[in-house]
Homo-oligomer: A and B are copies of this chain.
């Protein structure tokens, strides 16, 4: 297989995966491109490689930087900026989980908190409060686990967790 094909296919798959998880396709594709590129790329190069407009490239590069998945590299004597992305998939997942849990779990907990003080005492109200409380408990537990994950170390995590789950 030729590198060029393989790269294209990889970028394509990564983009699809991203968009089925609520991350826009271009953002995932730029990320994929930077992961597999041995050196940092300029906006121009990214645009050319993925066939996208300047605006699109710029917006999504900035988003990736927001998420901490991509960094600027300033090359001495070069006017334009270069971008590179980490290649360590463990670090990448930790970042993604960190960002998403920050952006999505906290607000949900916030919104669940208030839903339990109901005036009614009907069966329907009870069912409702039960579901909401369970969900809240569960969410807190998941959040704790994710926090631990974010702070954990790769080798330890896999070695220990896998053997642990194997029991």
Q: In the complex, are the beta carbons of A3 and B128 less than 8 A apart?
A: yes
Q: Are B21 and A124 in contact (CB under 8 A)?
A: no
Decide: B115 and A10 in contact? CB cutoff 8 A: yes
Interface of A is mostly: helix
- Find A89's partner among B93, B134, B158 (CB 8 Å cutoff): B134
Stretch at the interface among A32-40, A55-63, A70-78: A32-40
**Copies in the assembly, this chain:** 2
Instruction: Give the size of the chain A interface in residues (CB under 8 angstroms).
Output: 58
Residues of B within 8 A of A138 (CB): 89-90, 93
Q: Which of A1-37 contact B (CB under 8 A)?
A: 1-3, 6-7, 9-10, 13, 17, 19-22, 35-37
A158 to B134, CA, bound (A): 14
> A112: shortest Cβ distance to chain B, in Å?
8
Do A36 and B131 form a contact, CB below 8 Å, given A17-B108, A19-B22? yes
Interface residues of A (CB under 8 A from B): 1-3, 6-7, 9-10, 13, 17, 19-22, 35-38, 87-90, 93, 104, 108, 111-112, 114-115, 117-120, 122-128, 130-132, 134-135, 138, 141, 144-145, 148-149, 152, 158, 160-162, 164-166
